[in-house]
Amino acid sequence: MAADGPYSRRDGETIRLLPSGLEIVRRKKHEPIDQSGLSREEWARQTDKRNGSKFSEAWNLERLVDFIAVRVTGLGWRKGIAQEVTIPTHENVGWVKAKPVRAIKIVSDGRYVHAYPVEG
């Protein structure tokens, strides 16, 4: 990670360059948000397809970037090849339409990589 940390990066900026040439980028759309004070309907709207699923607070950027790097490297992903994979977990990783979910989708357009919670 950059010496100044991932939170200093703007949306879409590279957080980590992998040896394969792929770049893990920040996608603020999927970062945790404070749901206290939100109605069930508003929370569902905040975690819908348009606004983006949200990671739980346990999945901070450092943890997420490490998770992506290990999986992408282990799968042998390389620059220039668009790919995606859904990885089930044993914990609630985030929210989709106000429902807790236990899977993470990692996507690459062949250069940039990011991830978000999905229904498994």
Q: What is the pLDDT of residue 71?
A: 98
Q: Report phi then psi at 115, rounded to 5.
A: -145, 160
Q: What is the pLDDT of residue 57?
A: 94
Give me the residue spans of the domains in the chain: 6-118
Q: What is the pLDDT of residue 6?
A: 82
Q: What is the pLDDT of residue 22?
A: 98
Q: What is the pLDDT of residue 115?
A: 98
Q: Report phi then psi at 85, rounded to 5.
A: -150, 145
CA 25 – CA 32 distance, rounded (Å):
16
CA 52 – CA 71 distance, rounded (Å):
22
Q: What is the pLDDT of residue 98?
A: 95
CA 108 – CA 27 distance, rounded (Å):
13
Q: What is the pLDDT of residue 3?
A: 54
In a structure prediction context, what are the per-residue pLDDT tens digits for the chain, which is 120 residues long? 445 788 889 989 999 999 999 999 999 999 999 888 999 999 999 999 999 999 999 999 999 999 999 999 999 999 999 999 999 999 999 999 999 999 999 999 999 999 999 998
Cβ-based neighbour number of residue 4 at 10 Å:
8
Does residue 37 sit in helix, strand or coil? coil
